[in-house]
Amino acid sequence: MSIRPDLGELRQAWQRQPAAPLDVAALHAQVRAESHAHQRALWVAAALTLVVLVLMLGRAVITQRPEAWFGVAWTTLFVALVWPVSLWLSRGTWQPRDESTLACLDVSIHRARSVQAGAPVGILLYGVGLASAVLMRRQLFGGQWEDVLFSPSLILAGWLGGPVYAAGMLWYARRQRQRLEVLQALRGQLGEGPGDPG
């Protein structure tokens, strides 16, 4: 006779356990905090983008070097692509439509889905931006591929920054996937299914 429990029975017993009760006050507080953090992050990102562009433009004006002007033009084009994509992916995540618990759950679910969708898009944009910068720089200024591929800026932004950025995005998306499961279970407690705020 085996004293080891049957794993199937244990799984069924665990699945029959009631879900943890919904802490409405904590949910509302978390959604408010996330809304404020989202707005602050947007303003900080916009300010940093503007500062970088102004500094690059100032350097180009002072040095009058072609590669400095190239950097300004390329960065401006990239910003013109990234900002609309980012704003489109984050639509509907700014704040709940009202103060109801259901609206708070919906916006939290939508935020988690937005991060999951944004992670591969962000990694793709990073890679495309890096590759296009390398190709354009090589095309405009010539030089050996080794010089371009192993320049200090590419080592920092590409060889080191790229993998770190991708790993961070994938890790955060995975956390959001786990969070989404919890949020959908909580929404199910309200008896209205997983829902989607749009």
Give the angle subtended at the CA of 114 by the CAs of 111 and 117, to the nearest 5°.
155
**Tens place of pLDDT for every residue, the chain, 198 residues?**
444 555 566 556 555 555 556 677 888 898 899 889 888 988 999 999 999 899 999 999 999 988 788 888 888 988 998 899 989 988 888 888 888 888 888 999 999 999 999 999 999 999 998 888 888 777 777 778 877 788 887 888 888 988 999 999 999 999 999 999 988 888 887 765 545 444
Tokens at residue 137, please? 């720089």
Tokens at residue 72, please? 């300004």
CA–CA gap between residue 154 and residue 142 (Å, rounded): 16
Judge if pTM exceeds 0.75: no
